Amino acid sequence: MNLKIFLLWTFLQYVSSALGENGVLKGEDEGFESTDTEAVHGRIKYNMRKSLDLDQEGCYLQTGKKACLEECGFNSTSKTIFIIHGWTMSGIFETWMHKLVSAVMQRENEANVVVVDWMPLAQQLYPDAVNHTLAVGVDIAKMFDWLQEEHKLPLENVHLIGYSLGAHVAGFAGTYVKGTLGRITGLDPAGPMFEGVEEQKRLSPDDADFVDVLHTYTREALGVSIGIQQPIGDIDIYPNGGDVQPGCALGEMLAAAGNFMEVMKCEHERAVHLFVDSLMNKEHMSYAYQCTGPDRFKKGICLSCRKNRCNNIGYNARKMRKRRNSKMYLKTRAKTPFGGYHYQMKMHVFNRKQFDNADPTFYVKLYGGHNDTGNIFVVHADPIGLNFTNTFLVFTEEDIGDLLKIRLSWEGDSESLSSVFKYIKNSFWNWNAKAAKPAKPVLEIRRIRVKAGESQKKFAFCAQDPSKTEISPGESITFVKCRDGWEVKPRKRLPM
Ligand SMILES: *[C@@H]1O[C@H](CO)[C@@H](O)[C@H](O)[C@H]1NC(C)=O
Ligand SMILES: *[C@@H]1O[C@H](CO)[C@@H](O)[C@H](O)[C@H]1NC(C)=O
Ligand SMILES: *[C@@H]1O[C@H](CO)[C@@H](O)[C@H](O)[C@H]1NC(C)=O
Ligand SMILES: *[C@@H]1O[C@H](CO)[C@@H](O)[C@H](O)[C@H]1NC(C)=O
């Protein structure tokens, strides 16, 4: 076994036993190692859910047994949704499974909702569980081959939803079934042993007519990432950059091993909760924005949607024509409903008075028709460009309604560390010259152009008081919609 995987696995074993979560291996499954398809077959159960009461057993489908279909009330003209779990240490269904099943059943009450239970094969050393994914996928494919023959099940009505290792199981099912499945959703597909391997050995865009993937934990630890980093679907959505998920806290401060485990579980599982959110909160959808990378997205460059129709995340995601591995981004709230509001702000920062010590830290406060925000720190990766049009991404958790007013403030003072440092440096070299203390820097901002991601509307905001466009540390400028038209009309191309 690969050394990195081994390290990761022992590490996870260690932290899970420290947490007391190390489930006892079920006796009957001990020593089971065969990857032979036939031997695997009896260990996979297809539990068709019949009622929302999840304590009820449900009903089991079996390939080749027609009586089961009737008994379970399988309706081949409705949608068929299979839910596939991933690697497990506890060997029991965790709470996310119950939430997902119940959300799917509430949204699609006519659908055949089936939980693929491959627990005995998933509760293994991680590399062994990985080795079983092919056989489990093939078993699912056989089930669909039979359903097509026996019940004329149209494969385009089939949707497989796989979490973690289950996403790759779904991929194998899509590869081996006769025909093309309608859709596969990968919920933070597992990374270790799948990152960088060829398409046939992992979930890939060819496994279904539409493959959509949510990536929520793509941070590396010990050289591997729990969730796969590379795009592997038709669309690959990276909420919060696929990195630190809000509400999962701790971030990089992983002092205690137990905390690491909780952060990992929270971020990896976030994909499932985002999907559940998309099923339940139809009136509060989250949109994703196509972008070549997280850095450009964070700069607010990528808030435009094709024909102003933004794609949704989760269940409501749509296939885009002729696209593979299309990376999409969004920010989310920490709790359900996860969707928030994205604004792109563009402003030209004039440095007319030539202050080379100006290193502004901007905050904005947004005033909307329904509500106002607090002071929001304007995140910028690089220093704010002077004599330059800067683009920023501003995210609000609440719907403030139509944006009416923006207050831009420059927090801090001219004694900020970097300006003092510049002053010291300058005075050190010029110390014969009169090393004057730096004057308070003054910058000028006349307009802010705003694009609201969710509505795709564009507005220009001008200084409320046209004589007050200059800003220094500790000051603010208020902008209102420019008088020359509230909405920015798309620029007409003039004939050459
Ligand atoms: C099967 O599903 C279809 C479409 O979802 C529905 O119209 C039909 O009534 C269902 N049949 C039965 C027997 O429930
Ligand atoms: C997985 O299966 C392959 C062959 O299919 C084998 O070479 C490898 O050793 C197996 N890995 C584990 C950890 O059992
Ligand atoms: C910015 O432009 C002004 C002229 O508008 C010029 O005097 C100044 O040197 C420029 N500053 C920088 C840092 O480029
Ligand atoms: C306005 O937003 C604040 C939080 O920023 C919230 O506590 C308050 O309930 C909101 N008011 C309305 C009317 O939505």
One of 168, 215, 268, 380 is an active-site residue; which one?
Answer: 268
Q: Which of 350, 351, 357, 445 has the most ligand 3 atoms within 8 A of CB, as the residue to mutate? A: 351
Ligand 4 pocket residue status of 398, Cβ below 6 Å: yes
* Residue nearest ligand 3's atom 14 by CA: 387
Q: Which of 353, 354, 355, 443 has the most ligand 3 atoms within 8 A of CB, as the residue to mutate? A: 354
Phi, psi (5° rounding) for residue 377?
-65, 130
Map out the domains of the chain as residue ranges. Answer: 36-255+262-330, 341-413+439-481
Query: Which residue numbers belong to the known binding site?
Result: 199, 202, 207
* Residue nearest ligand 3's atom 6 by CA: 352
Residues with CB under 6 A from ligand 3: 351-352, 354, 386-387
Ligand 3 atom with minimal separation from the 355 CA: 13
Residue 337 preceded by cis peptide, ω within 30 = yes
CA nearest neighbour of 261 among 4, 15, 6: 15
Which pLDDT score, from 0 to 100, does residue 31 have? 34
395 forms beta bridges with: 342
- All residues at 6 or more sequence positions from 120 whose CB lies less than 8 Å from its CB, including other chains: 26, 28, 29, 32, 43
DSSP secondary structure code for residue 487 in this structure: B
Beta strand segments in 197-295, E: 208-214, 220-221, 224-225, 235-239, 287-290
Which pLDDT score, from 0 to 100, does residue 84 have? 98
Q: Which amino acid is at 36?
A: D
Phi, psi (5° rounding) for residue 118?
-115, 35
Q: Which amino acid is at 145?
A: D
Q: Is residue 367 classed as helix, strand or coil in its secondary structure? A: strand
Largest CA distance in the chain: 98
CA 414 to chain centre: 39
What does the DSSP assignment read for 375-424?
-EE---SSPPPTTEEEEEEEEESS---SEEEEEEEE-S-TT-HHHHHHHH
Query: Which residue numbers belong to the known binding site for Ca(2+)?
Result: 199, 202, 207
Distance from the alpha carbon of residue 77 to the mean position of ligand 1, in angstroms = 6
Asked whether the beta carbons of 452 and 403 are under 8 A apart, the reply is: yes
* Residue nearest ligand 4's atom 11 by CA: 371
Ligand nearest the Cα of residue 351 is 3
One of 102, 164, 286, 414 is an active-site residue; which one?
Answer: 164
Ligand 4 atom with minimal separation from the 374 CA: 5
Which pLDDT score, from 0 to 100, does residue 27 have? 28
Residues 245 and 478: their CA atoms lie apart, in Å, by: 32
One of 188, 212, 234, 236 is an active-site residue; which one?
Answer: 188
Fold of 36-255+262-330: Rossmann fold (3.40.50)
* Residue nearest ligand 3's atom 9 by CA: 354
Ligand nearest the Cα of residue 130 is 2
Ligand 1 pocket residue status of 157, Cβ below 6 Å: no
Phi, psi (5° rounding) for residue 183?
-155, 145
Q: What is the pLDDT along the chain (496 residues), one digit of tens a residue?
A: 455 555 565 555 544 443 333 332 222 333 334 455 666 777 999 999 987 766 677 899 999 999 999 999 999 999 999 999 999 888 888 899 999 999 999 999 999 999 999 999 999 999 999 999 999 999 999 999 999 998 899 999 999 999 999 999 999 999 999 999 999 999 999 999 999 999 999 999 999 999 999 999 998 877 889 999 999 999 999 999 998 899 887 644 454 556 777 888 899 999 999 999 999 998 888 999 999 999 999 999 999 998 888 999 999 999 987 778 899 999 999 999 999 999 999 999 999 887 777 788 999 999 999 999 999 999 887 888 999 999 999 999 999 999 999 999 998 654 555 555 555 555 555 555 555 566 788 999 999 999 999 999 999 999 999 999 999 999 999 999 998 755 555 444 444 4
Which pLDDT score, from 0 to 100, does residue 25 have? 28
Catalytic annotation on 215? no
Catalytic annotation on 206? no
- The whole-model pTM stands at 0.86
Residues 494 and 164: their CA atoms lie apart, in Å, by: 52
Fold of 341-413+439-481: Lipoxygenase-1 (2.60.60)
3-state secondary structure 33-75: CCCCHHHHHCCCEEEECCCCCCCCCCEEECCCCHHHHHHHCCC
Which pLDDT score, from 0 to 100, does residue 48 have? 94
Ligand nearest the Cα of residue 387 is 3
Residue with tokens 């990089």: 252
Catalytic annotation on 268? yes
Classify residue 428 by burial, with Cβ atoms within 10 Å: 0-12, 13-18, 19+. Answer: exposed
Count the Cβ atoms, other than its own, within 10 Å of residue 229.
18
Ligand 1 pocket residue status of 70, Cβ below 6 Å: no
Ligand nearest the Cα of residue 128 is 2
Residues 58 and 76: their CA atoms lie apart, in Å, by: 18
Same fold across 36-255+262-330 and 341-413+439-481: no
